[in-house]
Amino acid sequence: MKIHHSLSTIILFLLIGFQSIYSQEKINQLNANGERVGIWKKFHNNNRIRYEGQFEAGKEVGVFNYYSALNSDHPTVIKTFSKSSNKATIQFFTEKGVLESEGEMNGKNRIGKWFYFHPDGKSILSEENYENGVLNGEAKTYYLKGELTEISHFKNGKLHGNLKRYADNNVLLDDINYENGKRHGAAKYYNIDGKLILWGNYENDEKVGEWEYFKNGKPKNFDKEKK
């Protein structure tokens, strides 16, 4: 009985060993078409893991974790790939695992709304909108406690439309208009108390016409000048 028990134990360990070897052989495999399939793991030159994830017929599917060469404790990037498209949701982290930004990509292009975070990894620093990797539409930035600091608009990656900046007490400071990345149109500037101190017009990023300066609530003519 003891011999039989010993043989059974040996056979069990052998089976576990063979299973482990078999599993290892299934990592980093190619199919008959030379496409990546199954679980893949790659390593940095210092043998720290670089990424791990799963492929189906050469396409990434599900969750992929990417790591820094300096730290394997936390992934610096987590990508969750769609099976039916080239889209993936992305999260970027510091090496200590603090969330820095998140959004969606189509291939290598950012798309839709992206969020960026303050160093606490929770409070939103800014939110932006992308089309094919280029800023388009409304963008907002926030103070740490959540108050709006700036709201702007983009077209093809350039400021286009109205831009407003606020103090941390929600008082409007700047109200400026842009066209193709340059100041163009009416512009108003306020002090920390919310009182208008200067207004005028820009044309192709240059001040034009008469600008009016306000002091103690009284308007004064302000000479033409170039910024």
Q: Is 126 exposed, middle or buried (0-12, 13-18, 19+ CB in 10 A)?
A: middle
Average pLDDT on 101-115 reads 97
Cβ distance 154 to 141 under 8 Å?
no
Q: What's the rounded Cα separation, in Å, for the pair 20 and 16?
A: 6
Show Cβ contacts of residue 165 under 8 Å, excluding neighbours closer than 6 positions.
Answer: 149, 150, 172, 173, 174
pLDDT in tens, 124-146: 999 999 999 999 999 999 999 99
Q: In the structure, what pLDDT confidence band is assigned to residue 216 with cuts at 50, 70 and 90? A: confident
Residue among 78, 134, 141, 86 nearest 110 (CA): 134
pLDDT in tens, 22-43: 445 589 999 999 999 999 999 9
Token digits of residue 78: 């987590």
Paired sense of beta strands 218-222 and 206-215, if any: antiparallel
At 220 the pLDDT is 77
pLDDT in tens, 150-191: 999 999 999 999 999 999 999 999 999 999 999 999 999 999
66-92 burial: b if 16+ Cβ within 10 Å, else e: bbbeeebeebbebbbbeeeeeebebbb
Q: What's the rounded Cα separation, in Å, for the pair 219 and 200?
A: 12
Give the chain's end-to-end CA distance (angstroms, integer).
97
At 21 the pLDDT is 47
Residue among 115, 136, 134, 113 nearest 126 (CA): 115
Tell me the residue type at 65.
N
